[in-house]
Structure 1
């Protein structure tokens, strides 16, 4: 009898979790998003070298208009691939485990993600407009970390730890201006891959 009660409670908890949290998020999404960031970051480093900029010389960098435009396009391409991989692996996991994708939890998660990300996007555009390039990488880490922590209550709780790591990394990078690319690669590349592997092993 006790075993039946435990099974019923477990079933109820599972149903509540499915209805209140977005659990179709796949760890592979984080891994491939991280790989996209690593490849993109490496390409940017090589691009700096091709333009005669020694990234690790510790000096303030002056970017030409053409280089800035190319960096923006690279960032958009990385974002496109990260979102594409995220959607692909989410749909694949949903079909595999017969989980609904578009639920109230999904809407709440996306809404809570969108607020800090939208404000951060506007802030970064303002930095770009005023040519304060040195703060863009720290700003992306900080606002992304805030978005993850804000959305944690509607998906796996593990995501808040990734958010806190992004926030810490963003705060540290504020004191090492000029090395934003390095911190950006660590935050969006290395941390994403580590987080993705941990989540994939935990929830596979």
Structure 2
């Protein structure tokens, strides 16, 4: 009986070592929670302060000047949120890696970032193209869909649970492409609420 228990323990240790070598397991639930909070605060600011709530796919040339002014402010706000989210993710992930006596930046994390960057950069460039054409109403669907695809790909290199979050983002993006007037709401649901729920789930399941 003892030999069987030792064998099970050894198998578990080997499995854990293999998982650590092939998957990035330093993602922190708190990083997801804080990213969601930043996104909700940004969506609220864009709507209440900048009066940004695109309800059309294409804006007429007569209104593009006014829309462009608002878009500059919203773009700067989005950049600030992105920097905060990345900085927070780095802080919490690095702290978690140190607790596990691991290095956050390794071959696995590099593979994770490289594979995530392909759909992220593609979606970002496509969003910029849509902006240049005045297709403001498609920004929320595009960012949600391509971000969801990047998470789906990333699930191969980190927690498998992140695949569900990716599918949720894609579904919200597709719904947003149909209900154009509610794009900001779908964006807040995807980048805000979904991140908070996912972050709490990861914290309860893996961080504690």
Matched position secondary structure for 1:74: helix
* CA–CA separation in structure 2 for the residues paired with 1:48 and 1:109: 35
* TM superposition outliers: structure 1 runs of 4+ over 6 Å: none
* Aligned positions, number: 199
**Alignment TM-score, normalising by the size of structure 1:** 0.93
Gaps of 5+ in 1: none
The alpha-carbon deviation at position 98 of structure 1 amounts to 1.1
Tell me what 1:71 maps to: 74
Matched position secondary structure for 2:180: coil
Asked if the contact 2:50/2:74 (under 8 Å) is kept, the reply is no
Tell me what 2:192 maps to: 189
Tell me what 2:22 maps to: 20
The alpha-carbon deviation at position 151 of structure 1 amounts to 1.1
**Alignment TM-score, normalising by the size of structure 2:** 0.91
* CA–CA separation in structure 2 for the residues paired with 1:43 and 1:20: 40
* CA–CA separation in structure 2 for the residues paired with 1:105 and 1:159: 16
The alpha-carbon deviation at position 200 of structure 1 amounts to 0.4
Asked if the contact 1:19/1:103 (under 8 Å) is kept, the reply is no
Tell me what 1:11 maps to: 13
Gaps of 5+ in 2: none
Tell me what 1:86 maps to: 89
The aligned runs of 1:36-115 (5 Å cut-off) are 36-49=38-51, 55=53, 62=63, 64=66, 65-115=68-118
* CA–CA separation in structure 2 for the residues paired with 1:89 and 1:18: 18
The alpha-carbon deviation at position 59 of structure 1 amounts to 6.8
The alpha-carbon deviation at position 67 of structure 1 amounts to 1.0
* CA–CA separation in structure 2 for the residues paired with 1:157 and 1:59: 36
Q: CA RMSD in A?
A: 1.6
The alpha-carbon deviation at position 128 of structure 1 amounts to 1.0
